[in-house]
């Protein structure tokens, strides 16, 4: 069995090809804990702290602005609105 430590997802295709050629392949997903003790495990930067959370926060901000602006167009919205993640 070949034990390979990979840092890039693109190399996964090489592992698949090796497996198809009869090689025994093992894939290990280990994340070194950060200084703050963060252990993401699955997902990585984009899912956990990058693109997707940014898009969720941006969408929440857009919705908050839209709700406030909707009063100008005749919608009756309570003055006190709150948001809790």
Tell me, what's the pLDDT at 14? 73
Tell me, what's the pLDDT at 10? 60
In degrees and rounded to multiples of 5, residue 69 shows phi and psi of: -70, -25
| Closest residue by Cα to residue 2 from 25, 19, 22, 18 | 25
pTM score, whole prediction: 0.45
Tell me, what's the pLDDT at 43? 63
Tell me, what's the pLDDT at 24? 81
E-only strand ranges, the chain: 2-3, 25-26
Tell me, what's the pLDDT at 39? 65
Helix runs in 1-85, H state only? 12-20, 45-48, 51-70
- Model confidence pLDDT, tens digit, residues 38-83: 666 566 677 767 788 888 888 999 998 999 899 999 999 888 888 8
Q: Beta-carbon neighbour count of residue 66 at 10 Å?
A: 10
- CA–CA distance, 33 with 39 (Å, rounded to integer): 5
């Amino acid at each position: 069995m070949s034990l390979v430590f990979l840092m890039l997802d693109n190399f996964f295709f090489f592992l698949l090809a090796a497996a198809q050629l009869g090689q025994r392949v093992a894939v290990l997903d280990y994340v070194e804990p950060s200084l703050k003790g963060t252990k993401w495990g699955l997902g990585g930067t984009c899912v956990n702290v990058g693109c997707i959370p940014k898009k969720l926060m941006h969408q929440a901000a857009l919705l908050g602005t839209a709700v406030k602006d909707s009063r100008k167009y005749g919608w009756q919205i309570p003055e006190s609105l709150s948001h809790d993640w």
